[in-house]
Amino acid sequence: MISSLDARTGSVVATVAEETSEDELDALCRSAAEAAPELEALGRRRRATMLSGMAATLEARRAEVVQAADRETALGEARLNGELTRTCFQLRFMADVITDGAYLEATIDHAGDTPMGPRPDLRRMLRPLGPVAVFGASNFPLAFSVPGGDTASALAAGCPVLVKAHPAHPATSLLCARTLAEGAKAAGVDLPVVSLVFGDAAGARLVEHPAVKAVGFTGSLAGGRYLFDLASRRPSPIPFYGELGALNAVVVAPAAAKKRGREIADGLAASATLGVGQFCTKPGLVLVPAGSSGDSLRDALAGAVRALPAGHMLTERIANSYATGSAALRGLSGVQVLAEGATAGAGTQAGAGTPASDGEGGGWWGVPLLLEADAGAMDGPLGEECFGPVLVVVRYRDAAQLSQLLERLAPALTATLHADLPEDEALARTVVDTTSEKVGRVIWDGYPTGVAVSWAMHHGGPYPATTNALHTSVGAAAVRRWLRPVCYQNFPETMLPPELREGPGPEHSVVRRVDGALVAP
């Protein structure tokens, strides 16, 4: 049985569904495979309308959806209202991306002579892969779950979606799936474009089902690697796009520390504890210069963390994992506690991530924690992500030591640098060169937790940040994950997809590369 829990009390509120059986899963996958050519045949314009319809229906059910998500995640209505706004923006943004049509990479080489002899007429564009499995995240019940970025980009590409509902928010998942179906129907699309699967066994079978052609996943390294291995070991392997989180490093350069250490400390404390530290882009490590301005920054950071309250974590498992992980970090030799936030209500012990019994002060709590580690202690657990509101300060003596520390870091989603030009320029160049080799996004004078939905966003990075460094789960390019090229050689005009015809007509006109030159629609 799949139960919905109240994250603030830890108690079961409702039974949402049964685990999806093998036969049910097979039927869902077959339906998705049958719907795939129909979804593609709708064309970009009608799929854009469908995505907008889904956004409108989600907005119409805003109160209900936010309430369900808040009960299951304890993330709070303000945050979840914002997340719903983002989710709807994302659906509409994906509608814009496919309306624009450049994502098709439409390319035409007219027949002609080449140094290798005559070349036939060749026309290439991207087409949908087929049904896509999506594994939603615990920490974004909307924007990275059933109605989230993977779903939006896959539907935009023309791929039906089968979502494995996250056990942290099954009721929200069910409500969202129904809402999306309603939105599609309102836009005139009566196809099983979003199906829901419950249970871990069904999730694993989903990855292995022959009808599924790609997988999007947002979650832990262990869970993601397990499913990546399943996808890779299939008789017919499929791409697995796992966004697995990271230890996101922040470097504060000396002049920045001196000029605005307090401001950076406040911003960093807020970023590291936003959503009780349950962001894959949470800054987990800050490299602070030795010396007095670094001391002040560290002390300001400690003050800021001390003033923060404990927060409800998403699930018992996440809270336990945070409790264990943060306890292990503070127990390491070379590590000391700089500050802790306020502990939780009655029934909880002092310390991070302590699960509590039901009732007053129930649910699962995470307590903000600031540690300081010697530079020499940086290998091992300190170099890995600890999901939750913990931030580790490491001091560096000079640019050379900073470089060494950065070289030792594993690839991540982001790296951040606070630097003031021209004083910090030499150090800044080293940091940018070193970190941009191993992260997907480098942030200057900011904080990594905000991940804007836009044309230029890249949310990814080399393993273990993701399982595929070429792709992003946020931004316009997210659609590329669900598409493959097809080349049409020497085709009669009428047999070509409309976007590749000599005369595509206004509805199908997109930017194309024709005989080597880009041609505007």
Q: Rule CB under 8 A: which of 16-55 touch a copy of itself?
A: 37
Catalytic residue among 40, 83, 243, 385: 243
CA distance 500 to 489: 11
Tokens (6 digits) for 57: 């229906």
- Decide: is 77 part of the binding site for a copy of itself (CB under 8 A): no
> Of 11, 15, 232, 349, which lies in the binding site for a copy of itself, with binding defined by CB under 8 A?
232
Between residues 359 and 485, which has the closer beta carbon with respect to a copy of itself? 485
Q: How far is the CB of 202 from a copy of itself (least distance, A)?
A: 23
Catalytic residue among 280, 372, 385, 386: 280
CA distance 252 to 346: 38
| Burial of 511: CB neighbours in 10 Å, binned 0-12, 13-18, 19+ | middle
Q: Is 280 a catalytic residue?
A: yes
> Of 296, 401, 445, 509, which lies in the binding site for a copy of itself, with binding defined by CB under 8 A?
445
**Is the bond into 422 cis (omega within 30 degrees of 0)?**
yes
> Of 398, 437, 502, 507, which lies in the binding site for a copy of itself, with binding defined by CB under 8 A?
437
Cβ contact 388:284 at 8 Å:
no
Selected range binding a copy of itself among 171-179, 284-292, 392-400, 511-519, rule: CB under 8 A: 511-519
Residue ranges in 299-338 that form contacts with a copy of itself under rule CB under 8 A: none
Using the Cα atoms of residue 33, residue 36, residue 38 and residue 41 in order, give the sign of their dihedral.
negative
- Decide: is 489 part of the binding site for a copy of itself (CB under 8 A): yes
Residue ranges in 394-423 that form contacts with a copy of itself under rule CB under 8 A: 421
Tokens (6 digits) for 148: 């989230």
Angle separating helix axes 200-208 and 22-41, nearest 10 degrees: 50
CA distance 407 to 372: 19
CA distance 371 to 337: 5
Residue ranges in 350-389 that form contacts with a copy of itself under rule CB under 8 A: none
- Where do the DSSP E strands lie in 182-298? 194-197, 214-218, 240-243, 248-252, 283-289
- Decide: is 78 part of the binding site for a copy of itself (CB under 8 A): no
Residue ranges in 233-262 that form contacts with a copy of itself under rule CB under 8 A: 233, 236-239
Q: How far is the CB of 436 from a copy of itself (least distance, A)?
A: 5
Other C-beta atoms closer than 10 Å to the C-beta of 292 total 11
| C-alpha closest to that of 301 among 392, 225, 227 | 392
Q: What is the dihedral of CA 507, 57, 132, 215, to 10 degrees?
A: 120
Residue ranges in 200-219 that form contacts with a copy of itself under rule CB under 8 A: 213
- Decide: is 477 part of the binding site for a copy of itself (CB under 8 A): yes
- Decide: is 483 part of the binding site for a copy of itself (CB under 8 A): yes
- Decide: is 226 part of the binding site for a copy of itself (CB under 8 A): no
CA distance 160 to 448: 32
Selected range binding a copy of itself among 288-296, 305-313, 392-400, 464-472, rule: CB under 8 A: 464-472
Between residues 241 and 396, which has the closer beta carbon with respect to a copy of itself? 241
Binding mask 130-169 for a copy of itself (x = CB under 8 A): x---------------------------------------
Between residues 12 and 421, which has the closer beta carbon with respect to a copy of itself? 421
According to DSSP, the residues that pair with 475 across neighbouring strands are none
Q: Is 243 a catalytic residue?
A: yes
Tokens (6 digits) for 386: 């600890």
Enzyme catalytic residues: 243, 280
